[in-house]
Amino acid sequence: MNRPTITAFQVSPDRGRGLARDMRVRWALEEVGQAYDVRLVSFEQMKQPAHLALHPFGQIPTYEEGDLALFESGSIVLHIAEQRAGLLLPADSNARARVITWMFAALNTVEPPLVELTAAKVFERDQPWYGQRLPLAFERARKPLGDLSRRLGDAQWLESDAFTAGDLMMIGVLFRAKGLGVVDEYPNLSAYVARGEARPAFKRAFDAQLAVFKHSSEGA
Ligand SMILES: N[C@@H](CCC(=O)N[C@@H](CS)C(=O)NCC(=O)O)C(=O)O
């Protein structure tokens, strides 16, 4: 693999709490032991043609490696996992398909209502219908979380005894939602997230994104 370059916020609105989606890409790179470079972009730069050529929706993260340019954290993590077979994706093709299924479940089933709940709590607070909307948003987030909690049960990881890209993506999604006060209604999910956070690769990724924020705020 050529050394990749990813993009991240120049000044992350989360103040280095690891909530921006470059975190899961950094984590995957750390898990497979791939060194990488980071290009920091401002909100203004993200909407300029140069960045839009890489990311049609004007967001981070992006991923460049030789001739390849990717956007979407799920696609990027899958690509990284595929480059180093056996580390984040099992060799057996059925097991691999199951892991990829969990990646889709994380991004397609679990994350959307959590993003909606975040939007409700953060951006809709001043709306006259906020009081009615909030409980609905909580209920919608609880449905997939409750189902996931039942499925995970007492298991360490989703598919087998080994941590996979499915866990990385699911924990990446749940980790972002920790502050919403809904994931912690499910103690086994909180413990699952904590197991992910305890991984040395997670810590290295977290520290790297925090260092960017500290550096940017020192310069401000
Ligand atoms: N589905 C995309 C979502 C990317 C996304 O929402 N990125 C956020 C940061 S976490 C962003 O760039 N926000 C700035 C903006 O939309 O202007 C992914 O998973 O990569």
Q: What is the DSSP letter of 162?
A: S
Residues 73-110 have pLDDT tens digits of 999 999 999 998 889 999 999 999 999 999 999 999 99
Q: Are 157 and 164 in contact (CB under 8 A)?
A: yes
The pTM assigned to this predicted structure is 0.97
Per-domain residue ranges of the chain: 5-87+201-219, 93-199
pLDDT confidence bin for 155, thresholds 50/70/90 = very high
Closest atom of ligand 1 relative to the 71 alpha carbon: 20
**160: pLDDT strictly greater than 90:** no
Whether domain 5-87+201-219 has CATH 3.40.30.10: the reply is: yes
Question: Which of the listed residues 27, 46, 60 should we mutate to test ligand 1's pocket, taking the one with most ligand atoms within 8 A of CB?
Answer: 60
Is ligand 1 within 6 A of the CB of residue 12? Answer: no
Q: What is the CATH number of domain 93-199?
A: 1.20.1050.10
Atom in ligand 1 nearest the alpha carbon of residue 60: 12
Q: What is the mean pLDDT of residues 26-42?
A: 98
Atom in ligand 1 nearest the alpha carbon of residue 61: 20
Give the position of tokens 């699911």.
170
The answer, yes or no, to whether any atom of ligand 1 lies below 6 A from the CB of 10, is no
Q: Which residue minimizes the CA distance to atom 12 of ligand 1?
A: 59
Q: How confident is the model at residue 7 (pLDDT cuts 50, 70, 90)?
A: very high
Cα distance between residue 85 and residue 119, in whole Å? 37
**Does the beta carbon of 21 sit less than 6 angstroms from any atom of ligand 1?**
yes
Of 148, 145, 156, the C-alpha closest to 199 is 156
